[in-house]
A and B are shown apart, each in its own frame.
Chain A
């Protein structure tokens, strides 16, 4: 391998850490916010429903890049301190995808057959027991395929952190471009392979989770599929 080739590959792989951090951190925040806002949208209190609606529509309605610019460039002007780029990125990725995830959680909880709820009432379960022992275990299995799509969407969005110089793959590649202009095929090729690999890993993890959780519910495990074939459209 020539010097420039190994230099290109090692520089881009140097950004892999930041990309993985942003992806994992973003996914963790997404899960927390999606459950909070999704369950809040089903609350009996009008105020709680209203607040979660505002969060969901606000973050789904404005562009993700605009949110990133706002948090990174406007917030410092308002509060006087700047967030570390990678941290700011994780916050925006989580807030944005959490809003989309909230609809997934709400839809999945609503799709649990009403008889299940009635059965839990008949067994005089408390509302918390009803939710955590009966409704959610069934709803979570339904959420996994759409969450798989959402997480891959999130992983792709980490490329936007290029705009705030968080040191991830895309930024590394763009720093190499002026120097290694004749080797763009290699630069973009390595970047694409990194993203593809993460996407495949996310899909594999979600598939395994789906099999494990549906077996626990005593349901037939979903059929084995090609890892490339994600369920449904995003």
Chain B
């Protein structure tokens, strides 16, 4: 079989449509992961006896088991059990968000632990309310240093979205698969899908590395 350029140009619009879905999944999934991760990190720190242990167990179980199974779990078990039928796209956003929240929660935890004790003591001395300590002192210092790590997880998430083709999300790889099935020519669409991933994730990781260097100088 030979590489067919006209077929390549034909496939690109369809693949770009899929890429848009992939990017949407990544951005929405990251938003869930960043917010939920912070909630998990704070819940783990909160001195509520059983709850913090349960959160810890949840984080370790989700981190140590495959995302693909979590997708199936939500799609085939959780939704029917709740009696609702959200779209495959929404399932993907939620599954990615929850899975990566367990990673980002560790990032937040490390960042919060790195804040010097003196900052807490000063806040106590000023008798600031607890919520003010977090929003005014701790998080504004911790979060900028965490941005590179959070960015890296967004890039990993981007590269994991193709597994959502298993529940029918029309992202890049699924579009490539469709194209291949329609024409019996698989070389071009699958190769293009790989190139599209490289074109986005390589520059992004260079940007994150630059950010890392800048944060290192803080």
Contact = CB atoms under 8 A, between A and B. Distances in A.
Given A156-B66, A170-B66, A63 B159 contact: yes
A163 interface: yes
Contacts of A58: 198
Interface stretch (B87-95, B103-111, B126-134, B210-218): B103-111
B187 A77 contact: yes
Greatest chain A CB density within 10 A among B64, B187, B193 is at B64
A73 B190 contact: yes
B201 A61 contact: yes
Interface in B169-215: 172-173, 176-177, 180, 186-187, 190-191, 193-195, 197-198, 201-202, 205
B65 A63 contact: no
Interface string A159-181: 11011000000100110010000
A234 B197 CA distance: 21
Interface residues of A, number: 41
B197 A156 contact: no
B71 to A, nearest CB: 10
A199 interface: yes
A67 interface: yes
SS class of chain B's interface: helix, strand, loop or mixed? helix
B50 interface: no
A233 B106 contact: yes
Interface of B: 1, 56, 60-61, 63-69, 72-73, 76-77, 103, 106-107, 110, 149, 158-163, 165-166, 172-173, 176-177, 180, 186-187, 190-191, 193-195, 197-198, 201-202, 205
B215 to A, nearest CB: 16
Interface of A: 57-58, 60-67, 69-70, 73-74, 77-78, 152, 156-160, 162-163, 170, 173-174, 177, 184-185, 188, 191-192, 195-196, 199-200, 228, 232-234
Given A156-B65, A195-B69, A66 B60 contact: no
B3 to A, nearest CB: 10
B207 to A, nearest CB: 13
B67 A156 contact: yes
A13 B163 CA distance: 23
A57 B202 contact: yes
Given A152-B64, A160-B68, A170-B68, A69 B205 contact: no
Contact of B194 (A62, A73, A196): A62
19 contacts: A61-B201, A62-B159, A62-B197, A63-B162, A65-B173, A66-B162, A66-B172, A66-B173, A69-B173, A69-B190, A73-B186, A156-B67, A157-B66, A177-B76, A185-B77, A188-B72, A192-B65, A195-B66, A196-B61
Contact of B160 (A63, A174, A232): A63
Residue among B63, B66, B76, B160 having the largest count of chain A Cβ atoms under 10 Å? B66
Nearest to B110: A233
Contact of A196 (B64, B107, B176): B64
B67 to A, nearest CB: 7
Contacts of B158: 63
